[in-house]
Amino acid sequence: MDATLRRFSLFYFAYYAALGAYTPYVGRWVDALGHGGYVVGGMLGLWYGTRILGPPAWAALSSRSTRPGEWFFAGCVLSLALFAGFVFTTSAWALLTVMALFGLFYNAVMPQFEAMTLTALGSRPERYGRLRVWGSVGFLLVAGSYGALLDVTGATRFPWLVLPLFVLLVAAAWPHRHDSPPPPDPNAMADAGHLWKRPGVRRFLLVAMLMQLGFGPFYVFFTLHLQAHGHAGAEIGALWAIGVIIEIALFWQAPKLIARFGAAPLLQLCIAVTAVRWAVVAFFADSLAVMAIAQAGHALSFAMFHACCMRLMADFFPGHRAAAGQSLLYGISGGVGGVLGAVMAAVAWESPGGGTAAFAAGAAACGLAFAIHAKNSS
C-alpha cells in the first residue's frame, strides 16, 4: 500500500478504535456512575439520533466551503473537545447534553471521510476493503482489551482511558485537511423520494430497520448483561473480540457467497440466525462457551447481513441514485432503528425481566423482520 493510501488506513484505525471503546463500555461507565438503564439507553439513543441529524447538516456546511478538508479536521477536533467534557460530568442531564453535542460531530465526520476515500481511490474502488479493514482491526484491539483495563483501573476512569484515542483521531485527521470529497448530487434527495415508491424498497428498509432495532439490546446492554451474569471484564472483551474477528473473516468471503447463493436467500438466513442469537443471549448468558458461539453468529448477523444489504441496495438504487439510497438506509435503519432499539432496550432492561427481557425483545424484533422478508420473497 502506497503512502498516500496508508494515511487513510490510519484514520479508519483511529476512528473505529475510539468506537471500540465507546460502544461496548460506555454503558458500563454510566452504570458505574450510579445511573440506571434509562440513562444508559438515552446515551445510546442520542448516539443514533445524532446519526440522523449530524451528517446531512455537516455536509451542507462543508459543501459550501472552498476548503472542505479543513471542516473535516475541525469536526475531529470538536469531537475530541466535546468528548473531554465527559471527564467533568456525572449527572444524568449533563451526560446526555454532552452526548448530544459530541455525537453530532463524531457521527458527522465519517460520511465525509468515506467520500474523501472514494475520491482518492478513483478508478481503484476495489481497494476500499483493504483500507476499511483497518477500522475493524482498531475496533478489535480496543474492544478486546478495554474490558480487562477497566477491571484494573475501575470503570469510572473510562473517559480518561478513551481520550488518548481521540487525540490519535485528531492526529490521523491532520494529513487530510487539504482533501476534498466529490461535490454532492443536488438531485439525491429527490431521487430518494421517487425511488421510495419502487416495489420492494419500503419493505426492505422496514426489514433493515427491524434488524437494527433488534441490535438495540446488544449495543446498549450486552456488556452489562454479561457482567450481571458473573463474567469478568477480560471475558467480556474476549467475547466482543470474537465477534469482530469473525466479522472481518466473513467480509472477505461475502462476495463469493453472494455470487453463489444470492443476496435475498442469504439475507433470510442472516435474520433467522440473529433471532436465535438474541434468544440464546437472553436465556443462556451464564455460559461463557454458549456466549462465544452466539458471538460467532456476528458473522451472519452483521457482516453477511450488511454485505447482502449493499448488494440489494445496488439493485434498488442503481447508478447515480446510490447516494440517495444510502442516505435512506442510513437514516431509517441506523438512525430510526437505532433510536427505537435503544428505547426498547432501556424499557425492557428496567422491567422485572432485565437483560433477559431486553434480548428476548430483540429476538422478537428480528422474528418480525424474518416474517416480513419471507412474505416478500414468497
Number of H-type helices and E-type strands within the chain: 17, 0
Spatial CA neighbour of 297 closest among 366, 353, 372: 366
Greatest CA separation for the chain: 56
Q: Is the pLDDT of residue 329 over 70?
A: yes
Q: Is the pLDDT of residue 193 over 60?
A: no
Q: What was the pLDDT predicted at 223?
A: 87
Q: What was the pLDDT predicted at 95?
A: 92
Q: What was the pLDDT predicted at 49?
A: 82
Q: Is the pTM of this model over 0.75?
A: yes
When the pLDDT of each residue in the chain is averaged and rounded to a whole number, the result is 83
Tens-digit pLDDT profile for residues 215-267: 989 988 888 899 899 998 889 888 988 888 888 887 777 778 888 888 889 99
Say which residue, 206 or 55, is predicted with more confidence: 206
Tens-digit pLDDT profile for residues 154-167: 889 999 999 999 99
Contact assessment for residue 83 and residue 109, using Cβ atoms and an 8 Å cutoff: no
Q: In CATH terms, are 1-184 and 188-378 the same topology?
A: yes
Q: What was the pLDDT predicted at 318?
A: 66
The correct answer on CATH 3.40.50.2000 for the domain covering 1-184 is: no
Q: What was the pLDDT predicted at 362?
A: 94
Collapse the DSSP code of 66 into the 3-class scheme (helix H, G, I; strand E, B; otherwise coil) and give the result. Answer: coil
In this structure, the number of other CB atoms found within 10 A of the CB of residue 221 comes to 30
Tens-digit pLDDT profile for residues 289-310: 999 999 999 888 888 887 788 7
Say which residues have a Cβ less than 8 Å from residue 70's Cβ, sequence separation at least 6: 177, 178
**6 is written with which cell numbers?**
496508508
Boundaries of every domain in the chain: 1-184, 188-378
Please provide the CATH number assigned to the domain covering 188-378.
1.20.1250.20
Tens-digit pLDDT profile for residues 76-87: 999 999 999 999
Average of per-residue pLDDT across 70-75: 86
Q: What was the pLDDT predicted at 66?
A: 67
